[in-house]
Amino acid sequence: MKALVTGGAGFLGSHLCDLLLEKGYEVLCVDNLITGDMHNIAHIKSDKFSYMRHDVTKPLYLDETIDFLFHLASPASPIDYLELPIQTLKVGALGTHNMLGLAKEHRARFLLASTSEVYGDPLVNPQSEEYWGNVNPIGPRGVYDEAKRYAEAITMAYHRYHGVNTRVVRIFNTYGPRMRLNDGRVVPNFIGQALRGEDITVYGDGSQTRSFCYVSDEIEGIYRLMMSDYSLPVNIGNPEECTILEFAKIILHITGSSSKIVFKPLPVDDPKQRRPDIKKAMKLLGWKPEFSLEKGLKETIKYFKGILES
């Protein structure tokens, strides 16, 4: 069985390549490295693995047949998609269209990596898959949120009108080794600041909430969803919710850092609350997260310490 992973040189994509290889798949990783890094896949020595540098907003034709297509390519950190607004819209729209066309041609099963951002600044908590969201289409985050909403719409259209076997995973904040220290997301920011003894920058008053899922849990959920026979969106994330101010204190505690917490302006349209309802994933996939926040953060801190010391 052969799997194609777009965005395979990124944080989540590279962990997915590892899992697929472990399970015996041949893996083709397709990435244009706009936010990814060859270091993330440099450890892979398997002859079942290949890499192709390609921008998926351009069509892709392959001679060898693929059986599964995991479409993860997209800038994912708010800093990245604010710097790359057009590329973010294009990869969600044109990139998803091209990859659906490829899946249709190969009769491959297709999985879209969508996001909790489709719920925008949610007015209900926790967010279940039935909630339609509260997104500002013209705000700075709209480039990412609307690209993913379009990507979900075209995925469902290919499913309904072309009979492509599709899956949609709504990924909630996921963290772990291979995130970039400077990608601007809260986990690498706080850990980097704590380890360097710099101020911890809490945006706003820190009362906004997030729920953090460790990467191996997320990848296992994504794999199980692809192997299921369910075509509507499924949330995969960890429902353990905390405020960002609490999160800053947890990082200080685990790192033993004496950094100070400072407050900075809240970015525009920053969601006030985010917590996945995972009943569907539990029932359909028999999946639930195994890593507590503390255990996942210890692994992640170890990784970032290694990067800072090298």
Q: Known catalytic residues?
A: 144
Considering CB distances under 5 to 8 angstroms, the limit depending on partner class, which of ligand UDP, ligand NAD, none binds residue 203? Answer: ligand UDP
255 binds ligand UDP (CB under 6 A): no
Of residues 29-68, those binding ligand UDP (CB under 6 A):
none
Of residues 86-145, those binding ligand UDP (CB under 6 A):
none
189 binds ligand UDP (CB under 6 A): yes
Among 56, 69, 251, 293, binds ligand NAD (CB under 6 A): 56
Instruction: Give bridge partners of residue 174 from the DSSP assignment.
Output: 213
Among 78, 192, 276, 289, binds ligand UDP (CB under 6 A): 78
Among 210, 221, 277, 289, binds ligand UDP (CB under 6 A): 210
Considering CB distances under 5 to 8 angstroms, the limit depending on partner class, which of ligand NAD, ligand UDP, none binds residue 36? Answer: ligand NAD
Total interface residues for ligand NAD by CB under 6 A = 28
Sketch the per residue contact string, 60 through 89, with ligand NAD: x for CB under 6 A, - otherwise.
------------xxxxx-------------
Specify the residue, 101 or 184, whose C-beta has the smaller distance to ligand UDP.
184
Sketch the per residue contact string, 135 through 174, with ligand NAD: x for CB under 6 A, - otherwise.
------------------------------------x-xx
Considering CB distances under 5 to 8 angstroms, the limit depending on partner class, which of ligand NAD, ligand UDP, none binds residue 108? Answer: none
Give me the least distance between CB of 221 and ligand NAD, in Å please.
12
Q: Of 112, 247, 129, nearest to 188 (Cα)?
A: 247
Of residues 208-247, those binding ligand NAD (CB under 6 A):
none
